[in-house]
Homo-oligomer: A and B are copies of this chain.
């Protein structure tokens, strides 16, 4: 295997392990902050590290358009460019081509689209997506897939999934194995268990270093998402890491870890931080709310991040109300720190064999609120 993965413990279907990459080891379950365009928005790389984050995600779509993968390669690769010396997973660009670009045309060979930045015509194929990620220096490369829209009929979901499986095989062929670098396949199939099973079988037959579950958290709701995990995850090779793409809220993550997922990424902590929403051990706080204007308490008394250790809720409220950049900076820092704390807590609970009790305690505390 080009990318190492070792399992340390299981508690029910929840797993604790370690991903071994060219840029170091990553304890799992892991949450990867999203470094869209070569930066985890509103954070220095040092601040990201300080939260305990060990792996981040980069977006192929954004980086290929600006500043360009070849330019980043000439400058020494994405790790050096963004001063992130831990592992990086890059997506294939497929999801964002579908959600951001204009005038896209899908064909058997790949997808042609216009850049949302300058309208220039661009093309991504399975081979080109792998080559771009190679140029960026990704530790984990994702296959190009079509993220099946929701809702989709079974026939639409089947056709879309089967195209993705053919692309997955081509991606595998284009990927150059190197020690510590891996290629992940992506399970599609919409909300149809039979299609999910067919997709897993197709990917396992090709053979990947890890398996992602794609096409979820696109509007189907948490219950359906969990139901899809219930039918999909047990079919995945047990000795390989499992990655649920683009998920999610803390409750989504706890539920997915319970179902055997090892890896996550999501813009929720960073995007929410920019709009004044804080994820805390007491649930979600909207720092725009006037009830915080005179609140001398820390945002989250259980958190050691700079926003919580050094400032009052009143100050954070003031920054957000005033449109001061430090507001998004501190709330993003906190949210990323909270997500890392969450993952550490989940891992410790799995290692101790008390995952279910820990998950229940987390949920109870979120529901309890902040006592204001």
The answer, yes or no, to whether A38 is at the interface (CB within 8 Å) is yes
Q: How far is the CA of A274 from the CA of B180 in the complex (A)?
A: 39
The answer, yes or no, to whether A71 is at the interface (CB within 8 Å) is yes
Q: How far is the CA of A39 from the CA of B318 in the complex (A)?
A: 10
Q: How far is the CA of A76 from the CA of B312 in the complex (A)?
A: 10
Is the CB–CB distance between B326 and A44 below 8 Å? yes
Q: Which size class do A's interface residues fall under?
A: 35 or more
Contacts of A325 in B (CB 8 A): 41-42, 274, 325, 328-329
The answer, yes or no, to whether A354 is at the interface (CB within 8 Å) is no
Mark each residue of chain A from 286 to 309: 1 if its CB lies under 8 Å from any CB of chain B, else 0. Answer: 000000011010000000001000
Given the known inter-chain contacts A66-B321, A82-B315, please indicate yes or no for A310 contacting B45, CB distance below 8 A.
yes
The answer, yes or no, to whether A156 is at the interface (CB within 8 Å) is no
Is the CB–CB distance between A310 and B83 below 8 Å? yes
The answer, yes or no, to whether A314 is at the interface (CB within 8 Å) is yes
Given the known inter-chain contacts A39-B324, A324-B37, please indicate yes or no for A314 contacting B44, CB distance below 8 A.
no
Is the CB–CB distance between B315 and A81 below 8 Å? yes
Q: How many copies does the complex hold?
A: 2
Is the CB–CB distance between B71 and A294 below 8 Å? yes
Contact pick for A75, options B37, B296, B330, CB 8 Å: B296
Contacts of A74 in B (CB 8 A): 294
Is the CB–CB distance between A71 and B322 below 8 Å? no
Q: How far is the CA of A296 from the CA of B74 in the complex (A)?
A: 9
State the Cβ distance, A307 to closest chain B Cβ, in Å: 9
Q: How far is the CA of A74 from the CA of B314 in the complex (A)?
A: 11
* Residues of A9-47 contacting chain B, CB below 8 A: 37-39, 41-46
State the Cβ distance, A58 to closest chain B Cβ, in Å: 13
Q: How far is the CA of A45 from the CA of B38 in the complex (A)?
A: 25
Contacts of A83 in B (CB 8 A): 310-311, 315
Mark each residue of chain A from 55 to 81: 1 if its CB lies under 8 Å from any CB of chain B, else 0. Answer: 000000000001100010011100001
The answer, yes or no, to whether A213 is at the interface (CB within 8 Å) is no
Given the known inter-chain contacts A44-B306, A325-B42, A329-B42, please indicate yes or no for A293 contacting B37, CB distance below 8 A.
no
State the Cβ distance, A292 to closest chain B Cβ, in Å: 11
State the Cβ distance, A56 to closest chain B Cβ, in Å: 13
State the Cβ distance, A86 to closest chain B Cβ, in Å: 14
Q: How far is the CA of A143 from the CA of B54 in the complex (A)?
A: 51
The answer, yes or no, to whether A319 is at the interface (CB within 8 Å) is yes
Is the CB–CB distance between B314 and A67 below 8 Å? yes
Contacts of A329 in B (CB 8 A): 42, 44, 325, 329
Contact pick for A314, options B75, B311, B324, CB 8 Å: B75
Q: How far is the CA of A355 from the CA of B74 in the complex (A)?
A: 43
Known A38-B315, A39-B324, A41-B324; 20 more pairs at CB < 8 Å:
A39-B319, A39-B326, A41-B325, A41-B326, A42-B325, A44-B306, A44-B329, A44-B330, A46-B306, A66-B321, A71-B294, A75-B294, A75-B312, A81-B312, A81-B315, A83-B310, A83-B311, A325-B325, A325-B329, A329-B329
Q: Using a CB–CB distance below 8 Å, which chain A residues touch chain B? A: 37-39, 41-46, 66-67, 71, 74-76, 81-83, 274, 293-294, 296, 306, 310-312, 314-315, 318-319, 321-322, 324-326, 328-330
